[in-house]
Structure 1
Amino acid sequence: MPDAPIALLANPTAARGRHAGLLRAIAVALSSAGRPVRIMSAADRAAALAAVGTAVRDGVAALVVAGGDGTVHLGLQAVAGTGLPFGVVPAGSGNDFAEALGLPADPVRAAEGAARALAEGRTRAVDLARLTAADGAVTWFGAVLGAGFDSIVNERANRMRFPRGPSRYDIAIFAELVRLRPRRYTITLDGVVHELPAVLVAVGNTSSYGGGMRICPDADPTDGLLDVVLADPMSRWTLTRLKPRLATGAHVTHPLVHVFRAREVELAAEGITTYADGERVAALPVRILAVPAALNLLDSGPCTT
């Protein structure tokens, strides 16, 4: 519809509120597409999911999200597979999905680029991953799913009441390193079953998670495949030494780290809860399928710093 609005979902608490004052500027930049901008506010995750779902059903011209990977994750649940143009304004502490797709790093420039793309009808097709849990619930993700040491750390950190901020994760990492032990996984890659112990399992549609850790460095969100990275049982010392190499993706050259590619991945293990795009998703077992061209991304131009 020529007069359909742009729906904007913004997370004012992303990046600990660093970009909250830019919401008006982002909305003004989006309005340069010649359409009204409908800003959606949500008190919690459930309300945000309901808001984006309603917006898509109402027939908006595009859905744009302003926030980090968690906000992107919420938006994907509404637009995946619909063909509706989707814009990303990176404004979080972790913007791995936006960075992997080469989007502008500055929030206002990203919004301007999304507006130009919408006005010109310029989009590009991007793959997504579709996860099906044991109960049949479906969740889409755009970046990386963690199902090993990283997800165990997230579980501990989310249970902790104190301290707040990044130091909570540092404490959780230390606590789980002390308890480090391999888990027994059943991993099925395009129908081929592997039974093996591992300390780290990640499934990537794009390359990085956690604000720049390139866990799946060669993952390509346009190849119709998922990259699966596994780490064999290793000592606490080896895992600690391996962690800095995640920044460049050099960890995949370590003899205890293995990389696979598959269109369909099934994971099963006891006591593991998965996290995708930084969000808590489902306990194993899960089935993950690469869905080519599931996202119609507003092509807002090259990344700038």
Structure 2
Amino acid sequence: MDDIAVLANPGAGRGRHRGVFSAVLDRLGSRGGTVRLLEAGSAEDAEKVCHRAVADGVGALVAVGGDGTLHRALQAVAGTDVGFGVVPAGTGNDFAAGTGVPAHPLLAAEEIAVAREAGRHRPIDLARIETPQGDVRWFGAVLAAGFDAIVNERANRLRWPRGPRRYDLAIMLEAVRLRPRRYTLDLDGVDHSFTGVLAAVGNCASYGGGLRICPAADPADGLLDVVVAAPLGRVALARLQPRVRRGTHVDDPLITSYRARRVRIDTPGIVGYADGERVAALPLEIGCVPGAVRLLR
């Protein structure tokens, strides 16, 4: 059997799965094939080594880590016939959860090994982003383009505190400045422009480690789910936050949901975040590409 290239981030999820990392690699190769660990010193290097592995004809590419690690690997495997495996080991494992991958790393690794031996894969949709500069990015879970993206941007600029508390501080700082924006939103050629504070485009249901922002999203239906929020004050936003984790916020009259094959979204001053990773400033064109990745499961 062909080589299995593995992009891994042992420090993902604050290292809580570091102890089973060697066992994951053993399990991946338990049914044949040579497991090759890709070495990368940065996110940019990670993408380069994944692209090189795919270009060299690797049999499968496996991402071990959270959604950030997965996002880097997807850039190389999307649209190819290379099998793709996901071993969830991060703080947020939203793509894995949305595609039914076992939550335990060893079970996920075993499922990949079995699928490779059987020659089995599941076609999964991906979202393809096009920027005005002509750059292309892929994502598997959700693109944030509203208040949540602003919080990510602020958190990335903070040097203190570290860990989840940095995001708590970013939320507090940005909530004070919360204001509605005018969004241009085009769905399959139909204008749905609105004024509001939130816009999310989902291939899967959740982001941020289980926040079900697009609860009805199905990564195998050929469509993207789009969820937008009308103008909200700080109190209304705080009231909706716990409902987002359950996915019941979409029943609120201030929330509107759509489905589309192609989305164009724009508003000044927002940088989009996909799979928790910084992508580019709006405007962005997002299209659903059915079966863009061959998920080994």
* Counterpart Cα distance in 2 of 1:165 and 1:191: 41
1:207 partnered with 2:208? no
1:241 partnered with 2:229? no
Q: Secondary structure at the match of 1:136?
A: coil
Query: Amino acid of the residue matched to residue 191 of structure 2?
Result: V
1:247-258 superposed matches below 5 A = 247-258=245-256
In structure 2, what is the equivalent of residue 218 of structure 1? 216
In structure 2, what is the equivalent of residue 295 of structure 1? 293
1:21-32 superposed matches below 5 A = 21-32=19-30
* Counterpart Cα distance in 1 of 2:34 and 2:230: 52
Q: Shift of the alpha carbon at 1:242?
A: 0.3
RMSD, aligned CA: 0.8
Q: Shift of the alpha carbon at 1:236?
A: 0.7
Q: Shift of the alpha carbon at 1:41?
A: 2.1
Q: Shift of the alpha carbon at 1:32?
A: 1.2
Match for residue 35 of structure 1 among 33, 55, 70 = 33
* Counterpart Cα distance in 2 of 1:33 and 1:89: 16
1:34-113 superposed matches below 5 A = 34-113=32-111
* Counterpart Cα distance in 2 of 1:151 and 1:184: 16
* Counterpart Cα distance in 2 of 1:74 and 1:115: 22
CA displacement, residues 232-288 of structure 1 (integer Å, 9 cap, x when unaligned): 001110011000001110000000000000000000110000000000001000000
Q: TM-score, normalised by structure 2?
A: 0.99
Q: TM-score, normalised by structure 1?
A: 0.96
In structure 1, what is the equivalent of residue 269 of structure 2? 271
Query: Amino acid of the residue matched to residue 208 of structure 1?
Result: S
Q: Shift of the alpha carbon at 1:196?
A: 1.7
Deviates more, 1:20-29 or 1:108-117: 20-29
Q: Secondary structure at the match of 1:258?
A: strand
Query: Amino acid of the residue matched to residue 150 of structure 1?
Result: D
Q: Secondary structure at the match of 1:38?
A: strand
In structure 2, what is the equivalent of residue 302 of structure 1? none
Q: Shift of the alpha carbon at 1:81?
A: 0.6
In structure 2, what is the equivalent of residue 132 of structure 1? 130
* Counterpart Cα distance in 1 of 2:201 and 2:133: 20
In structure 2, what is the equivalent of residue 176 of structure 1? 174
Q: Shift of the alpha carbon at 1:183?
A: 1.0
* Counterpart Cα distance in 1 of 2:193 and 2:226: 15
In structure 2, what is the equivalent of residue 165 of structure 1? 163
Query: Amino acid of the residue matched to residue 271 of structure 1?
Result: G
Q: Secondary structure at the match of 2:193?
A: strand
1:198 partnered with 2:176? no
CA displacement, residues 59-88 of structure 1 (integer Å, 9 cap, x when unaligned): 111001100011111111001010210000
Which portions of structure 1, spanning 4 or more consecutive aligned residues, are displaced by more than 6 angstroms?
none
Q: Secondary structure at the match of 2:192?
A: strand
Q: Secondary structure at the match of 1:201?
A: strand
Q: Shift of the alpha carbon at 1:16?
A: 1.1
> How many equivalent residue pairs?
297
CA displacement, residues 185-242 of structure 1 (integer Å, 9 cap, x when unaligned): 1000000123321100000000000000000000011110000000000111001100
* Counterpart Cα distance in 2 of 1:141 and 1:12: 22
Query: Amino acid of the residue matched to residue 48 of structure 2?
Result: A
